[in-house]
Amino acid sequence: MKIEVGKYAGFCGGVNLCISKLEDILKNNKDVYCIGDVVHNNEVVNHFKEEGLIVIDSLDELENGANLVIRAHGAVKELYEECEKRNIKVFDLTCPKVLSIRNLVTDYLNDESFIVLIAQKEHPESLSTISFCGSNSTIIEDESEIEQLIKKLKKYKNILVIGQTTFSEEKYIKYSNMIKAGLDNNVVIKNTICNATSIRQKETLEMSKNKDCMIIIGGAKSSNTHKLYDIAVSNCKNTYIIETAKDLNIDEISRFKNVGIMAGASTPKSSINEVIELLK
């Protein structure tokens, strides 16, 4: 069996930074909390739970003055404001790419402007980003929403189109161009898809064209991992999405001769290596 592993498989820069900072935070502070998974990977989350990170469901579970980690996806604006009121110490591990979008929208927070976020509507990053975009903003996820959106946008002088950092770049470009084509307004398109996401998607596309099997490794909740699966399966019907090597049916995989491996942005190197060893 020939095995090819994507050059850009695994941790992106934002996740690396988040994990490195969290290690230090846990060493130097007691009773550190996080609302939800710090990144969308169970292996990473379980590791940090063992290191002492306490995962909770909401801010209501915290006492005033507690230590709270903001995960890599970011948090809604209202949470930051509530933490300040309650003297909760915030360690913000939001990905720098996500933070940069907040700075980008500043000039469009007025009555004459409207911000369109192309994204998964229920993804934590999307909910965080849109909370900083003011009342003149919306999230669209599907092409079918664009026609009605264009009708709504005609009365605004300026339109800003941005995207969830891990959204499909192909879809983002298509949707944003459709919006621009349908309006006479001053439409500004800012491709905020993370460069690491874009590179990983392109590499997956090329790799999947010449493989008889593709294995995509990543957390079940990971948006960017599922995008990689969608790209791979469009070229290689024998594409499998797994969290760890334990999820592989080795009898089924062993019939393939040319296997490609790609992993999401929050997939640890150890998970990738375990799959490689199992295949070997």
Which amino acids are annotated catalytic?
Answer: 125
Calpha distance 118→150 (Å, rounded): 14
DSSP string, 96-147: HHHHHHHHHGGGG-STTEEEEEES-TT-HHHHHHHHTS-SSEEEE-SGGGHH
Q: How far is CA 108 from CA 22, 124, 167, 186, in A?
A: 33, 22, 22, 12
Calpha distance 44→53 (Å, rounded): 11
Inter-residue contact 45 to 55 (CB < 8 Å) = yes
Read off the tokens for 184: 């006479």
**How far does Cα 195 stand from its chain's mean position?**
12
Calpha distance 64→28 (Å, rounded): 19
